[in-house]
Amino acid sequence: MRDLIIDLDAIEANLNTFRKRAPGAKILAVVKANAYGHGLYEVALKLETAKVDYFGVADVDEALQLREGGIETPVLAWLHDPNDRFTEAVAANIDLGVANLEQLERIADAARITGKVAKVHLKVDTGLSRNGSTIEEWPTLVAATVDLIGQQLVEAVGIFSHLSSTSEADDRAQIAAFDAAVEQAKGLGLEVELRHLTASDGTISYPDANYEMVRIGVGLYGLSPFADHTSAEYALRPAMTAKALVTQVKRVQAGAGISYGYMARTQAETTLALVPVGYAEGLPRNASGKAEVAINCKRYKIESRIAMDQFVIDVGDDQVVAGDEVFIFGDPAAGHPSANDLADAADTINYEIVTRMGGRFRVSYLGAID
């Protein structure tokens, strides 16, 4: 009735596209939030087989899920709360992002408990005002790290930050701040193997800032990181297709109200088709009356409110019957609306669209590793 189809071969192809864009740089595949809704384990296994260099997740729990699933590729987790399981993370050979002195001290304690050297990546806040050490605290954090390296408790693998993607001027200011922080760390006796700053958008826009590693998230799943550019412009293949089957069609007279609140009324005698997907599956309710879907390669606007379980489209006099496939989004090259199209209708971004999909969708994979 409702299907999410994940093309893992497309994800591998997108990985190779970014390898060409950032020659010489390692690729960190960002698989946080269930791999942006695409399936954490399935995506990770596919990319491990494709010899990706690193995985990136937000938190330790996600990293431990990868290890529990048998994933051996290096994993970096960078967003921590005061109760995170650092001891388990160090024992599982998970790299940990460090944003402040308190986190560093707790990671060192985990190293003492496990008897293993903890691998860390120091994060400096270069202007995003989110996770990371402030510029003022940076020298203290670096000096403490150097001391712990001397005690053989930690290994500093990387230094990283994150761009705001506000404007080229703002991004360039952040790149300069990052370079300065790296140089300051060198002056304090800390040199690292991996500098990483750019994500999908930065990897495309600032190749001079790709350094030793780039972090690829939304682009890995075939989506453009730019609202005004398509996936095809960057040779990316969207990996997720959301579709369902028409469950009922009915002929109605002019003036018939359509679903809750009569958001629309029919202008003439017409055929309405019912589609069993709603906000329980992640379809944004605020796309009601704006988003379009495709049946038999023709676009139709969602006329009704998007309810918990369903929405209604007006197909006029077209020959649409129960059982016809309805494509909510997918690859525009196949004639489907894109995740960008749905995002525009919902006043959001394609990142959110794919990540929120779930509910009662049946998920299947193309190109899965057995």
Active-site residues, by number, are: 32, 260
The CA distance from 310 to 106, in Å, is 48
Proportion of the chain in helix, strand, coil states, percent, rounded to 5:
35, 25, 40
The CA distance from 6 to 216, in Å, is 18
Which amino acid is located at 105 in the chain? E
- Yes or no: say if 245 and 1 are a contact pair by the CB < 8 Å rule: yes
- Yes or no: say if 76 and 101 are a contact pair by the CB < 8 Å rule: no
The CA distance from 308 to 144, in Å, is 52
User: What are the b/e assignments for 297-333, b being 16+ CB within 10 Å?
Assistant: eeebebbbbbbebbbbbbbeeeebeeebebbbbbbbe
Torsions phi, psi for 121 (to 5 deg): -125, 120
Provide the residue count of the chain: 370
The CA distance from 370 to 367, in Å, is 9
- Yes or no: say if 295 and 326 are a contact pair by the CB < 8 Å rule: yes
Judged by DSSP in three states, 293 sits in strand
Rounded to 5°, the CA angle 280-286-291 comes to 95
The CA distance from 56 to 77, in Å, is 6
Torsions phi, psi for 315 (to 5 deg): -105, 10
